[in-house]
Structure 1
Amino acid sequence: MSTVLYDYWRSSASYRVRIALHLADEPFERVAVDLLEGDHRGPDHLARNPQGLVPVLDIDGHRFTQSLAILDYLNDTRALGLLPDDPAQRAQVRALAHGIAVDLHPVCNLSVVRHATSDAEDKPTATRAWMQHFIRPGLAAFDTLLEGFEQTPFCCGDTPTLADLCLMPQLYNAHRWGVDLSDLPRLQAIESACAAHPAFTAAHPDQVRPN
């Protein structure tokens, strides 16, 4: 039974699931859902996910939505080690990841930004200002929270965790929108470590973007 990922190449939620699938060495087929063309609002995709969101993952005879739920399933069934065994440490790593995936990512969602800037005379400038307004403080807070962990060389140790999978897509967005991270050396070091990891490289938007 084949594994199929319905995603959009620049979607942060899709990006983090691609990383996990590559960490698991799970062969999968990508089916593009073009958010700019409105494919997510079409009947085919709404039949997969009534929320009209990506990603959607078909795997092991099941269909899953919501990237964090998908990551939990992959972690549980593919032994990815994305979370520590100790309950307290597990909660701390989850808190790091949720700070991005639950708090920061939603306000930078394409549909949210389009609505927020719909009345702006200069939409590109307004969009960039919106993204910088939210991304910079969110990542700065994440960097401060990292003080409670040893980066050797990833967010929380010597192997990638849920925090790294959520961080990297947001760093991609930060660079895309011109957010200055030069004073956050912990994030820069983690980004370098992840960028050298084959699973992160294979999942990067530049590797899957349409020609």
Structure 2
Amino acid sequence: MIKPLQIGITGGIGAGKSTVCKIFNVLGIPTYDADSRAKALMTTDGILMEGIKKEFGTLSFKTSGELNREYLATEVFSDEQKLKKLNSLVHPRVGLDYENWLKEQIGAPYVLKEAALLIESGSYKTLDYLLLVTAPEHERIERVLARDKHRNREQVKEIIKNQLSETEKITLADFIINNDGNHSLLEQVLKLHDQFLRTSKREQ
């Protein structure tokens, strides 16, 4: 079986990568949302669940089987080393889940793998190309504040500060979509769509 061309898509918080993915979806391109799948796997993947319990204790899960997000937020997310450990448990299971999903995408010319930490996790290296969605920081902050009512401006700035800088991401990206409001997202996506289709045909 010929694997479809694999395009990684990433961007900092509020850059608009989910919006870009929706346009690709309308064009019929399958998208694997790694962040959503990671959340799902933390309560459905037995191996991952056991790993989390072993590392962070049985309080990591509620008696209902749901993830105890309040406990993890206090115990893990506020501790950089513990967060790295959690990611080291989650990323391999997401990688395996993605490979199984990829096998089902028979006939697709190319697929998208969307993830916020695509670069940080190193998983972009296993893909054919990396697409970065970028936007000015002030635009990103306003978008997140409009979307996430539970966050304030300082919290969003802190998240941006802790993410890999735009400059570093740009140096690694093969393609860039500028979502600053002055460039048409649709035109940029259509142009890349045509390019990915042509590349896919050449590689088959």
* Superposition TM-score, scaled by structure 1 size: 0.27
Higher relative contact order (CA 8 A, sep 6+): 2
Q: Which protein shows a greater Rg?
A: 2
Report which of the two has the higher share of strand.
2
